[in-house]
């Protein structure tokens, strides 16, 4: 019987994918935007201005296929599924993918409609951007199945009430639940109540193999 991989093993596999996928997403953004806008806009700043929410919604469906492309090239057992409840399987484990451009260090992810999530394992990626490039990243697996503090998890009332209001919520980790976080890139640090994230600078000068 094949043993399920632990979070450390999952993080090691995802570490192979994150930076090349960000580079590939950057390249695809730079190719697609001029085509989509008839040459009027070349960067996501040109297109969206300061609207971080719209930028995130635009980048996520480009980044997720980039993860799959890189996984295929590296023979990593990563399968994009995007079914109700989870977004991908890595080494047979279901993952909920969360990409965000948030500057809030307390939030490991932002999202909505998460009441449909059926998996406790969240693959979170936080990025900053300069034009179509992503110079800083935080990435981790957040495993809510091992959380013990009642304030660890999503901040809104969707999971408590069962009613989905499509509002935004934040994924926060109480400092007593630091073991829920398996880092891939970046760091975490305890604050007064919750764990906070810190970005890691990355080099995007080379194309993915």
Kindly list the domain boundaries of the chain, sorted by start residue.
7-200
Predicted local distance difference test score (pLDDT) of residue 93: 95
Predicted local distance difference test score (pLDDT) of residue 208: 33
Q: How distant, in Å, are the alpha carbons of 32, 39, 139 from that of 78? A: 25, 35, 16
The architecture that CATH gives domain 7-200 is 3-Layer(aba) Sandwich (3.40)
Is the CA virtual torsion 58, 15, 170, 191 positive or negative? negative
Is 107:170 a contact under the CB 8 Å cutoff?
Answer: yes
Is the CA virtual torsion 58, 68, 120, 6 positive or negative? negative
Note down pLDDT in tens along the chain; length 209 residues: 567 899 999 999 999 999 999 999 999 999 999 999 999 999 999 999 888 889 999 999 999 999 999 999 999 999 998 766 789 999 999 999 999 987 789 999 987 755 456 789 999 999 999 999 999 999 999 999 999 999 999 986 555 555 555 567 889 999 999 999 999 999 999 999 999 999 999 875 433 32
Percentages helix, strand, coil for the chain, rounded to the nearest 5?
35, 30, 35
d(CA 15, CA 112): 26
């Amino acid at each position: 019987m094949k043993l399920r991989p632990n979070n450390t093993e999952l993080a090691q596999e995802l570490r192979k994918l994150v930076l090349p996928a960000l580079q590939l997403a950057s390249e695809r953004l730079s190719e697609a935007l001029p085509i989509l806008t008839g040459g009027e806009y070349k960067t996501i700043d040109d297109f969206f201005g300061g609207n971080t929410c719209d930028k995130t919604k635009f980048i996520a469906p480009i980044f997720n296929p980039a993860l799959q492309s890189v996984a295929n090239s590296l023979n990593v057992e990563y399968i994009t599924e995007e079914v109700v409840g989870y977004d991908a399987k890595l080494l047979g484990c279901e993952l909920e993918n969360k990409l965000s451009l948030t500057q809030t260090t307390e939030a490991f992810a932002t999202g909505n409609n998460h009441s449909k999530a059926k998996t406790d394992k969240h693959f979170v990626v936080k990025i900053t951007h300069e034009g179509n490039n992503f110079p800083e990243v935080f990435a981790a697996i957040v495993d809510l199945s091992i959380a013990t503090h009642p304030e660890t998890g999503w901040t809104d009332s969707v999971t408590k009430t069962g009613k989905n209001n499509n509002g935004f919520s934040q994924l926060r980790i109480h400092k007593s639940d630091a073991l829920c976080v398996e880092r891939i890139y970046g760091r975490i640090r305890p604050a007064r109540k919750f764990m906070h994230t810190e970005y890691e600078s990355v080099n995007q000068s080379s194309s993915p193999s």
